[in-house]
Amino acid sequence: MWAGRAEIFNDSMAHLCGHTAPALLSAAVPPAGAPGDRDLAGLRLLDVGTGSGTVAGLADARGARVTAVDAEPSMVELAAKRVPGAEVRQAILPELPFPDGTFDAAVANFVINHVGDPAAAVAAMRRVVRPGGRIAVTIWPHPKPEAQRLWDEIFDAAGAIRPDDLPRLDPALDFRRDEAGLTALLAGAGLTGVTGTTISWTMCIDAGAWWSGPAAGIGLTGLILAAQDEPTAIRVRREYERRTALYRGPDGVLAVPTAALLAAGTVPAA
């Protein structure tokens, strides 16, 4: 669902995912550190699932020594261009190609919700972070916030089918998508002092840009849209225009409420 789509992701869904980047990076700093523009200076930071490099770019600008990885080659290529100060490599969780304790902190922005084994992914991040270092992650919550729920309403109103072959996590490996569930996931990996919070905001994005991501097949929404026949796809577009009109300003920019979960913890001393 991401292959060869880095540019369109950067112009569409990255606007939604990027909002949490400052809070994610602040959570990666040990609690004793004072927040501010230079609180990452010299920090050896791993950005897992960097996508088009939004978090890596912000961390680099704030003085961190950034290494970023992503499973998708087009994302690696784009992130390397956008963040020339970072080392950007291809890697697929939970196989991180770094020695134990390489980094001071590791972050994953909307990555744990996409992997096949979330617990193994967090354990891999813990392995490569030194004792006393920090791990911070974000995911989308369930029940879905308004922005994500809106797509379900659009598909339902258009009579869209959900394909049987959509990627689904093994129930035995899943976890609750709320604050308690996410903090339990990190604590289960052995992190200490785990905290969780909900970040709520209003996503502001051009209506055409928000449509372009799913239209290009990005994410589960894109897979569902791509599975529709032409008459149904036309109805989906019509419902999109109708239902997003409630959130659209005169400049064509949507303002849609959404939310994310953020959790962070510390790697204990050996």
Q: Is the pLDDT of residue 3 over 70?
A: no
Tens of pLDDT along 125-157?
999 999 999 999 999 999 999 999 999 999 999
| Pairwise pLDDT comparison (6 vs 210), residue with the higher score | 210
Confidence check: pLDDT of 17 > 90: no
Tell me the pTM: 0.91
Select from 184, 194, 195, 192 the least CA-distant residue to 268. 192
Q: What percent of the chain has pLDDT over 70?
A: 92
pLDDT value for 31: 60
- For 35, other C-beta atoms within 10 Å of its C-beta total 11
The string of pLDDT tens digits covering residues 94-115 is 999 999 999 999 999 999 988 9
Strands 192-206, 253-266: pairing kind: antiparallel
Beta bridge partners of 172: none
pLDDT interval class at 172 (50, 70, 90): very high
Q: What is the pLDDT of residue 37?
A: 46
Asked whether 25 and 44 are in contact (CB, 8 A), the reply is no
Judged by average pLDDT, the poorest of 170-179, 214-223, 229-238 is 214-223
Residue the block writes with tokens 């049987």? 164
pLDDT of residue 209 exceeding 90: no
Q: Is the pLDDT of residue 76 over 90?
A: yes
The ranges assigned to domains in the chain are 6-266
The fold of 6-266 is Rossmann fold (3.40.50)
Give the full edge-to-edge strand order of the sheet including 129-139. Answer: 87-90, 65-70, 44-48, 103-109, 129-139, 253-266, 192-206
* Mean pLDDT to the nearest integer, 40-58: 93
